[in-house]
Amino acid sequence: MLLVLALCISLCPAAPGSGIFEVRQCGAKGDGKTLDTVAIQAALDACGKAGGGTVHFTAGTYLSQPITVHTKTTVLLETGATLLASPTQSDFLKGGGDWLAAKSSDDFIPFVSGKNLTDIAITGKGTIDGNGANWWGPAKEFRARNPSCPALPRLDLVVLNNCRNVHLAGVKLINSPRAHLVLADCEEVAIEDVTVRSPAGAANTEGMGPDDCRNVTITRCTIDTGDDNIAITSGKKVAGREFGSENITVTGCDFLHGHGMSIGSTTVGGVHHVVVKNCRFENTDNGLRIKSGRDRGGLVEDVSYSDITMKNVHPAISIVCYYQYSTNDKFPKNDRAQPISETTPRVRNVYISNVTATCTQDAGLIVGLPESLVSNVVLENVRVTAETGFTIRNAKGIQFKNSTISVKAGPRFSAENAEIAGLENQNNITQPSNKSKGRM
């Protein structure tokens, strides 16, 4: 295989002065039947060896096993070009074998990956397709048989690790076996006009996942998936940085099926300065969501959401430090404060403004821990219409300004151990008198 690849690289020169490496000239068929892995990797390697350039896919379906990109490389997928993952699961398993016996998703090789790169781009109007239908059925069956176990391990579609100056524009990322775009320890990232799509019932098919990333902008993207549309996380403490993930802006995006615009669940290294604005949600399981738990938390602060519209979401706003619970009737009863640790979630300084939402169930949740109250959350010009009310628990400094929560049944608010200001009718609140430690 190495000899064949070396031969292919030697036969893959760029046109003089162009810096363009055509995968078809390197031997790719693009017929959707022939494995084009060797030719595609040869084009990528030749581009890297030349010091950078563009690897060009014209219209066609390029069936491939895992491929790796290099520094200063632009992958250009023209309209009608599809980079399609092999349907053979063992092609992506390190060492081969039975993929159902994999211990974790680290046992898999991503379809498209790059590590320790600078100036990497994936552009054009074409598609990267993970052929996920071959994976989702067994994953769904596993979840049904083992509801308390972690999800069945699978590969991710595009993974970039420790990269600088990353640009994705125009492409479609679809049908990933698991996450569509994973960015780990990346900086200076621009994602624009990207479409991410998988069926709503495809488990764990996260849209985009910046983890321990800085200076990221996500603009005018459409994300329709079976898990978090976007999940900003920080999985570890990053040496020399107060926050693992910071300075992340999401603007002008459409979120369709999925679990919403999320921060967490892992926030160990801290998340700072996230801005979400001018976005639209429809039929998502959550809208604006911050989630963590005692075993995976850290500091989340300075988060701003503005100019958001939501339709048929559940709920519109969810800030919850009990990760394993998502509805207001399932939080632990009589939970006692526990010692603060390095993984205690802390959420503070969240500003939500100019939001209009209709909810299929609860209006919202702001729920901290007895030992770590969610603090300083402002909701200004927020209009939510829901079936049932808004739960606020273990929280302080919650302010409603010119905001209305309208419900079809029950009280508009349920509060416990909470400090709340600005409600237009504070009599319409339920609060257990023997447990309340806060004031309203």
**What residues does each domain of the chain span?**
2-87+111-131+155-332+346-430
pLDDT bin (cut points 50, 70, 90) of residue 425 is low
Q: Above 80 in pLDDT, residue 325?
A: no
Write down the pLDDT at residue 326: 54
Which residue type does 368 have? G
Q: What is the pLDDT of residues 73-86, one digit of tens each?
A: 999 999 999 999 99
Write down the pLDDT at residue 334: 84
Q: Which range, of 97-106, 160-169, 209-218, 345-354, averages the lowest pLDDT?
A: 97-106
Q: With 0-12 CB in 10 A as exposed, 13-18 as middle and 19+ as buried, what is 68?
A: middle
The radius of gyration of the chain from alpha carbons, rounded to an integer in Å, stands at 23
Fold (topology level) of 2-87+111-131+155-332+346-430 = Pectate Lyase C-like (2.160.20)
Per the model's pLDDT, the better-predicted residue between 103 and 345 turns out to be: 345
Residue (of 156, 153, 148, 35) closest to 98 by Cα position: 153
Per the model's pLDDT, the better-predicted residue between 89 and 140 turns out to be: 89
Q: What average pLDDT is seen over the chain?
A: 91
How far is residue 176 CA from its own chain's centroid?
13
Q: What is the pLDDT of residues 215-230, one digit of tens each?
A: 999 999 999 999 999 9
Predicted TM-score (pTM) of the model is 0.93
Query: Average pLDDT, stretch 294-302?
Result: 96
d(CA 187, CA 381): 34
pLDDT bin (cut points 50, 70, 90) of residue 147 is confident
Write down the pLDDT at residue 285: 92
Q: Above 80 in pLDDT, residue 279?
A: yes
Write down the pLDDT at residue 5: 46
Q: Above 80 in pLDDT, residue 148?
A: no
d(CA 315, CA 290): 12
Q: Above 90 in pLDDT, residue 95?
A: no
Query: Average pLDDT, stretch 276-287?
Result: 96
Query: Average pLDDT, stretch 309-328?
Result: 86
Write down the pLDDT at residue 433: 42
Q: What is the pLDDT of residues 337-379, one digit of tens each?
A: 999 999 999 999 999 999 999 999 999 999 999 999 999 999 9
